[in-house]
Amino acid sequence: MLLDHILRELPFGTKIPKPTAEGTFTIKGEGTVQGERAIVYTIPNRKDPDRPGQKRVTASQLENAYGQLLRTGELTRDWWNDHARLSESEGGCNFTTVGGLLELLGEAEYARRDMYRRRAGQR
């Protein structure tokens, strides 16, 4: 399971690369969303920088996005919005978080706005 792999390979506090976002996004740990396991990460808080907010990406979102990357060689925001996004309140942040996590694992690279590609040399 990709969530377990992330938690094993990327220590808490690891900075998640974001292509255009300002501020620091970091892996905080494991949590749940509606009873499903999820990775918890911090997001910048503009009003109080010393108290970052938190967001979550579910295990199934991670698995579905990784499966799409493996099948097609790319992960796009359009695909994410149609197949993995849980709600409008999620915003666009989770897409780039998943892309950033896949980058950290060496599976993907940021290609252009709204797209990550399978990293060259990966099976």
Q: How many residues does the chain have?
A: 123
65 CB-contact burial (10 Å; exposed 0-12 / middle 13-18 / buried 19+): buried
- Quote the pTM value: 0.93
Q: What integer pLDDT is reported at residue 122 of this predicted model?
A: 57
Q: What integer pLDDT is reported at residue 109 of this predicted model?
A: 97
Domain boundaries, the chain: 2-118
In 1-123, alpha helices (H): 2-9, 59-72, 77-83, 93-104
| pLDDT tens per residue, range 16-28 | 999 988 899 999 9
Residues of the chain with pLDDT under 50: none
